[in-house]
Amino acid sequence: MCFRGFLQDTLAESQVRWVLGGTFEQFLPYFRMMTQAVATGPWISVLIVDDHGLVRSGLVRIFSREPDIEIFGEAGSGEEALACLEKGCPDVVLLDYGLPDRDGAFVCAAILDRCPRAAVVMLTSAYEDDVLLACLDAGARGYLTKDASVQDLPRAVRRVAAGEAVLSPRIIQRVMGLARAAKTSHARRAPLAAFEIDILRSLSHGLSNVEIAEALHVTEEVIKSHIRSIKQRLGAADRAQTVAIAVKQGLI
């Protein structure tokens, strides 16, 4: 079951009484006492930051059933999240990107500035490339989309608390795509040799291949080969664009 499905199924759960004669929240302290003995290690404290109350309630219910995870606090905005840190630092922060006052990347950086040992995991419906990069640059250790399964969320919290990074499958695909694009861009912008810079300057003066070859004392075929290579590395379509890109990048 995904997290969205869990929220839909438990929308009215707050109105359902437990068999033992109380609400889940009333039963929780006894549940903690019974499960503490089987906990595998110290509890992991989690701060939940999301502007939707239903999302926060759903996450609280998911993690409250885990014997080794406790809720550090809840916040509906970036300001509230930072206010929660006045009482200490959580082990893990589950953070939505689309907050009403600040974007998630800003809040992530602000949280890590105050609590550098905390592990921030983005849990959001936003997965555009610029959003993803902004959050990872801000220091997020994980990035999960809200179609993550209910079972995956506690596992993700435990993994980031142990120092690992976690990404949803969809995010992994995007990161790989961005890495390939960056590699291609780097190859295109690889440093040019002094000889190639001379060719670029000649192109900027409007010289033909023959004229450039004569000026540099090489054959026309050598000049053609170098111009093809320069165009490819700069990502240019023609000679004019080659010169324009070279000027923009400060090569000439």
Least confident of 29-38, 58-67, 92-101, 153-162: 29-38
Do the beta carbons of residue 240 and residue 209 sit within 8 Å? Answer: no
Task: Identify the pLDDT of residue 19.
Answer: 39
Residue scoring higher pLDDT (200 or 20) = 200
- Checking 233-241 for CB contacts under 8 A at 24+ apart, the result is 233/187, 233/188, 233/189, 233/190, 233/192, 234/188, 234/189, 235/185, 235/188, 239/203
Mean pLDDT of all residues in 121-128? 88
Cα separation, 10 vs 65, in Å, equals 14
pLDDT, the chain, mean: 81
Task: Identify the pLDDT of residue 239.
Answer: 82
Domain with CATH 1.10.10.10 in the chain: 189-248
Mean pLDDT of all residues in 13-23? 44
pLDDT band of residue 14 (cuts 50, 70, 90) is very low
Largest CA distance in the chain: 95
Tell whether the model's pLDDT for residue 65 goes beyond 60: yes
> Is 3-181 in CATH node 3.30.465.10?
no
Tell whether the model's pLDDT for residue 54 goes beyond 90: yes
Tell whether the model's pLDDT for residue 51 goes beyond 90: yes
Domain with CATH 3.40.50.2300 in the chain: 3-181
Tell whether the model's pLDDT for residue 13 goes beyond 50: no
pLDDT band of residue 180 (cuts 50, 70, 90) is low
**164: which DSSP letter?**
-
> Is 189-248 in CATH node 3.40.50.700?
no
Least confident of 4-18, 131-145, 181-195: 4-18
Tell whether the model's pLDDT for residue 28 goes beyond 70: no
Element of type H or E holding 47: strand 44-49
Task: Identify the pLDDT of residue 203.
Answer: 87
Tell whether the model's pLDDT for residue 84 goes beyond 80: yes
Tell whether the model's pLDDT for residue 39 goes beyond 50: no
Cα separation, 167 vs 64, in Å, equals 23
Write the pLDDT tens digit of every residue in 135-173. Answer: 888 889 889 988 888 889 999 999 999 988 888 888 877
Question: To the nearest whole percent, how much of the chain has pLDDT over 90?
Answer: 40
Write the pLDDT tens digit of every residue in 101-113. Answer: 999 999 999 999 9
- The residue written with tokens 């809040």 in the block is 107
